Structure 1
Amino acid sequence: MSAFINVVTVGLLLGGIYGLVSIGLNLIFGVIRIVNFAQGEFVMLGMYGAYLAYLLMGVDPYVSILVVVPSLFLFGVVVQRFILQPLQNEPMMQVFATFGLLLLLQNVVLAITRGMSYTVPTPLSQVHFDLGGVSLSLSRLIVLLSVCVVAIGLSWFLKHTLLGKSVRAVTQDRRSARLMGINVEWTYMLTFGTGAALAGLAGTLLAPIYTMSPQIGGNFIVAAFAVVVLGGLGSVWGAFAGGFIIGLIEAFAGYYVNPELKHVAWFLVFIIVLIVRPSGLFGVMGAEEVGLREQN
C-alpha cells in the first residue's frame, strides 16, 4: 500500500511539472492557433535566467521570478511582433518559424555555455516532508502549488476581466472580434507574451530540481504536446488535468511495468485519444479545426 501511495505522489508531483509547462503552450495554441515548438526553449531560458540571476546577484531562484518572468514576457511579445505576426496569413510558415527559433535558441545557449551543465542551489531544495512514509520535496510541492494557482488565476482572468473576454472573443472568431473593435494583433502579442512568461515561470521553478543544459527543453516539450492533446486544445483546465494524467501514467508504468517503457505508456494514450477524440478529453468538439476554417 505504501508503494502505491508513493507512486501516486510521484505521479502528482510529475504531473504538476508537466501541467505548468503545458498551460502556456495550450494558451498560445488556443488563441493564435499555432503550435509553438520553441516553448520548451522558453522553459530552458527561464532556467538559465534563474542561474544568471544567482550567478550575478546571488538571488535565490524563487526570487528571480520577479525578473525572469517579465523578461520572458517581453521576449515573447518581440517574437510574436517581429517573427510570427508578419507570417500571420501563413500558419505553416509560423510553425516552421517556431521550429527555427527552437534551433536558434538552443544553439546560441550551447555556444555561450559550451555545453556545460549547471544547477541552481537554494536552501528550499533541501527541505523534505515525511507524510505517512511518503517523502515530499518542498521544491516539487512549490511546483504543484504553482500550477494550481496559475490554472485558477488564468481561468479567472479569461472569464471575468475585459481583457480576458477579448482574448476569448479572438479565440472563438477573430474576424468578428476585429469588427467589434478588438485589436487582434495586440491580443496575439499579449497571448504569446503570456505563454512565454508562463514558460519562464516554469523554468525558474524547475531550476532547483533539474540540472540544466541547452537541450533540456526537449525533455518537457514532448510531454507537453501529449498533455495538450490529451487535455484539450485551447483548454486551460485541460492542460491542468492532462498534466496530472500523463504524470500518473508515467509513474505507474515506470514502477509496475518497466522504467524504460514509461514514455511508451503515455504515448499510447496520446495516440488513442488523438484517434478517438481529437479535441481532447476536456476540449470542445471541433476546436482543433477552428484555425483551419478561419484561414479558408
Structure 2
Amino acid sequence: MTSLVQAIIDGLMVGGVYAVISIGLTLVFGVLGIVNFAQAEFLMLGMYIAYFAWAALGLDPLLGAFLAFGFVFALGYALQRTIIQRVLRAPAVSQVFLTVGLLIVMENGALLAFGSQIRSVTTAYQTESLQIGPFFVSLPYLAAFLMSIASGAALWWVLNRSWLGMAIRATAIDPMAGRLIGINIDRVMAIAFGLGVGLTAFGGAVVLPYLSVFPTAGSQFVVLMFTVAVLGGLGSVAGAVVGGLAVGIITSVSALMFPIQLQNLVLFLVFIAILALRPDGLMGRA
C-alpha cells in the first residue's frame, strides 16, 4: 500500500507537468480549430531558452521559465499572424502539412544552431527530496508540479475573469458572432496561439532540472501530449488538466504493477477503453 501511494504521488507530480504542456495544445485547437503538430518543438525551445539563461546568466530554470514563456509567446504571436492565419480557412490537410513542416524546420534549426549534444543544468535542489512520513517527494518534481499548477490557474483566471479571456472564449464558440460585436478576431487568435505555445515552453523549462535538452527533446513528449489532450477532450482546458493527472497516475502505477515494457501498453488500453465509452474525451462535448 505504501508503494502504491508513493506511485500515485509520483504520478501526480509528473501529471501536473503533462497537464500544462497539453493545455497549450488544446487551447490552440479550441480557439483556432487547428491541430498543431509542432507543439512539442515549442517545448524543446522553452528548454533551450531556460538552459542558456542558466548557462549565461546563472538563472534558475524555474525563473528562466518566465523568460521562455515571454519569448515563445512573442514568437507564437508572430507565427500565427504571418503563417498560421493563412491556412485557417484552408483544407485540414494543408493545416497538417504546415504544422508538420514547422516541426521539421524547428527541429533541424535547433540542430544547426545548438548541435546534437545533450545539455543539462545543475541546481542546488536537483537531488533533494522532501519526506512526508513514509513518503518521499523529489524537490525538482515538486517544483515543476507547483509551477505547472500555478500557470494553469493563471490561465483559468485569464479565461474566466478578464476581458481577454471572454474574447478568447467568444472566438472559440463563434468567431463570426465575435467579429460582429467588435472583437478583433485575428488578434485574439494570435494571442491564443501565443499563449498556447508559450505555456508549453513554460512546461518545458520547469522540467529542465531533472531532464536534459537536445534538438529532438520534444519527441519524448509528443505522444503523451496528444494522449492527454484527446483523453481530456480536445479543446477543453479543464479536460487537459484532468487528462494530464490521469495519464501521470496511470503510467506511474502501471510501472509499479507491471514490467516497465508494459507501461505505455496499460496507458493506451485505458485510453482506448475511455474513448470507446466517451468518444469526445472525459471533459469534451460533442
- TM-score tier after normalising by the smaller chain length: over 0.9
Q: Deviations over 1:71-109 (max 9, x none)?
A: 000010111111111112114312221111111111111
Map 1:125-144 to 2 at 5 A: 125-144=126-145
Question: Are the equivalent residues in 1 in contact too, given 2:120–2:208 (CA < 8 A)?
Answer: yes
The corresponding residue for 2:221 is 220
Letter of the 2:118 partner, please give it. Answer: S
Give deviations 1:173-193, integer Å, cap 9, x for gaps. 111111111111111100000
State the one-letter code of the partner of 1:21.
I
Amino acid paired to 1:82: T
CA offsets, 1:234-279, max 9 Å, x none? 1111111111111111112111022111111222222233333222
Task: Normalising by structure 2, report the TM-score.
Answer: 0.95
What SS does the corresponding residue of 2:125 show, helix, strand or coil? helix
The residue that corresponds to 1:23 in the other structure is: 23
The one-letter code matched in structure 2 to 1:259 is I
2:80 aligned partner: 80
The 4+ residue runs of structure 1 with deviation greater than 4 A are: none
Question: How well do the aligned residues superpose, as a CA RMSD in angstroms?
Answer: 1.4
Residue 60 (structure 1) aligned with residue 53 (structure 2): no
Q: Quote the offset at 1:194 in angstroms.
A: 0.4
List per-residue Cα deviations over 1:10-49 (Å, max 9, x = no partner).
Answer: 2111211211211111111111111111111101001111
Contact kept? 1:169, 1:177, Cα under 8 Å: yes
Contact 1:229 1:270 in 2 (8 A): no
Question: What amino acid sits opposite 1:53 in the alignment?
Answer: A
Question: Do the aligned partners of 1:19 and 1:240 also contact (CA within 8 Å) in 2?
Answer: yes
Bigger mean CA deviation after superposition, 265-274 or 9-18 = 265-274
Distance in 2 between the 1:66 and 1:244 partners?
Answer: 23
Provide the rounded CA distance (Å) in 2 between the counterparts of 1:50 and 1:265. Answer: 33
User: Is the Cα contact below 8 Å between 1:151 and 1:237 reproduced in 2?
Assistant: no
* Corresponding residue of 1:188: 189
- Letter of the aligned partner of 1:283 in structure 2? G
Q: Work out whether residues 50 and 120 of structure 1, in 8 Å CA contact, stay in contact via their aligned partners in 2.
A: no
Structure 1 match to 2:148 = 147
Amino acid at match of 1:164: G
Contact 2:4 2:256 in 1 (8 A): no
Worse-superposed segment, 81-90 or 106-115:
106-115
Contact 2:32 2:88 in 1 (8 A): no
Residue 238 of structure 2 contacts residue 283 of structure 2 at CA under 8 Å; is this kept in 1? yes
Amino acid at match of 2:205: T
Letter in 1 for 2:211: Y
Structure 1 gap segments, 5+ residues each: 287-296
Q: What is the aligned residue count?
A: 285
Q: Which residue number corresponds to residue 13 of structure 1? A: 13
Aligned to 1:51: 51
Is the 1:36–1:95 contact (alpha carbons within 8 Å) kept by the matching residues of 2?
yes
Secondary structure of the structure 1 residue equivalent to 2:273? helix
C-alpha separation in 1, matches of 2:85 and 2:49 = 26
Give me the whole-angstrom Cα distance separating, in 2, the residues matched to 1:114 and 1:148: 33
**C-alpha distance in 1 between matches for 2:268 and 2:20:** 19
Q: What one-letter code is carried by the residue in structure 2 that aligns with 1:11?
A: G
Alpha-carbon distance, 1:161 to partner: 1.2
Q: Using the TM superposition, give the Cα deviation of residue 117 of structure 1 relative to its aligned residue in structure 2, in angstroms.
A: 0.3
1:103 matched to 2:118? The reply is no
Separation in 1 of the partners of 2:115 and 2:161?
A: 46
Cα offsets for 1:146-197 (capped at 9, x unmatched): 2322232222221221111111111111111111111111111000000111
Q: Which amino acid aligns with 1:14?
A: V
What residue in structure 2 maps to residue 161 of structure 1?
162
